[in-house]
Amino acid sequence: MSFDINVRARWDDEAKVWTATSNDIQGLVIEAETLPEVFHEIALVLPDLLELMSVQ
């Protein structure tokens, strides 16, 4: 099975972090100081969030 996941990443100049969220994956909220860190964190949590979505 294949599908697209859209993730929106925005720079918060006040907090000095990137924030990433997705309307496609409920519960995906990541904050990190660099975009590579955001991608890494997404890769870590995405399998668990996808599993939770399939259970509901």
Give the position of tokens 């006040």: 14
Report the distance separating Cα 44 and Cα 14, nearest Å.
Answer: 26
- When pLDDT is cut at 50, 70 and 90, the band that residue 3 belongs to is confident
Note if the pTM is more than 0.75.
yes
Q: Is the distance from CB of 20 to CB of 42 less than 8 angstroms?
A: yes
- When pLDDT is cut at 50, 70 and 90, the band that residue 9 belongs to is very high
With vertex at residue 50, the alpha carbon angle to CA 46 and CA 55, rounded to the nearest 5 degrees, is 150
Domains for the chain: give ranges and CATH numbers: 8-55 (3.30.2390.10)
Q: What is the pLDDT of residues 12-53, one digit of tens each?
A: 999 999 999 999 999 999 999 999 999 999 999 999 999 998
